[in-house]
Amino acid sequence: MQIFTCPFCGARDETEFRFMGEAGKQRPEGGRAVGEAEWAAYLYLQRNEKGPVREIWMHQPCGELFLLARDNVTHAAEPGVGLRPEGA
């Protein structure tokens, strides 16, 4: 069982966390005007890289999203980083 570090609660078992998506994906602006290919890429395309990845996870007990940099081969995981700067 892996240990991830929530920036708010500290180190916890992986079962407390939920994967939300790859980091860096932007929701296309424009509603109905967004191009079909752009919208399809937003919905369905993942980078799915091997090795070091940056992902958004939620720590379910506290409900906070954060950035998790980890390696999906070695399973090394850096401490999570909050999505907003301190005090914002």
Partner 1 sequence: MARRLPQGGRIDRARPIPFSFDGKALSGFAGDTLASALLANGVSTVGRSFKYHRPRGVFGHWTEEPNAILDVTRDGRREPDARATTVYLEEGRTLAAASVNAAPDAERDRLAVIDAFARFLPAGFYYKTFLWPRWGLFEPAIRAMAGLGRLDPGWLPAAPAAPCNRACDVLVVGAGPAGLAAARSAAEGGRSVLLVDDRREPGGVLLWRGGEVEGQAAEAWIADTLAAIARAGGTVMSDTTAYGVYDHGLVCALQRGAEGAPDRLWRIRAGHIVVAAGAIERPLVFADNDLPGVLSAEAGLAYLRQYGVLVGERVVVAANNDAAYPVALALREAGAHVSLVDNRPAPRLRRLAEDGGVAVLAGERVVRAEGRRAVRAATLASGARIEADALLVSGGFTPTAHLYCQAKGKLAWDDALLAFVPGAPVEGVSVVGAANGVFGLAAAVAEARAAVAVPKSGGAPAARDPAALDAAPAWPNGDAGGRAWIDLQSDVTVKDVGIAARENYASVEHLKRYTTLGMATDQGKTSNVNGIAALAAATGRAPGEVGTTTYRPPYVPVPFSAIAGLRGGERMNPVRRLPLEARHRALGATLGEYGGWLRPAYYGPGDMTEAVAREIRAAREAVAVFDASPLGKIEVIGPDAARFMDFQSYMTLSTLAPGRMRYGFMLEETGIVFDDGVVSRLDENRFRVSCSTSHVAAMHARFETWRQDQFDPARLFIHNATTHWATLAVSGPLSRLLMERLSIVADLSDAALPHMAFVEGRFAGGPATVARVSFTGERGYEVSVPAARAAELHERLLAAGRDLGVAPLGIEALMALRAEKGFVVVGLDTDGTTMPHDLGFGGPRLKRTGDFVGKRSLFTQAAEAADRKQLVGLDTVDGAPLPRGAHVVARDGGRLRSEGFVTSSYASPALRRPVALGLVARGAARHGEEVTLRHLGRELRARLRPPCAYDAKGDRLNA
Q: What CA–CA distance (Å, rounded) separates 4 from 71?
A: 12
Out of 2, 3, 9, 47, the residue judged to bind Zn ion by CB under 5 A: 9
Q: What CA–CA distance (Å, rounded) separates 53 from 69?
A: 6
Q: Token pair of 74, please? A: 């070695």
37 binds partner 1 (CB under 8 A): no
Q: What CA–CA distance (Å, rounded) separates 11 from 14?
A: 9
* Residue 81 partner contact from Zn ion, partner 1, none using kind-dependent CB cut-offs of 5 to 8 Å: none
Restricting to residues 23-82, which ones interact with Zn ion according to CB under 5 A? 59, 62
| CB of 8 vs partner 1, minimal distance in Å | 12
Q: Which is nearer to partner 1, 36 or 48 (CB)?
A: 36
Number of CB atoms found within 10 A of residue 70's CB: 19
- Interface residues with Zn ion (CB under 5 A) are 6, 8-9, 59, 62
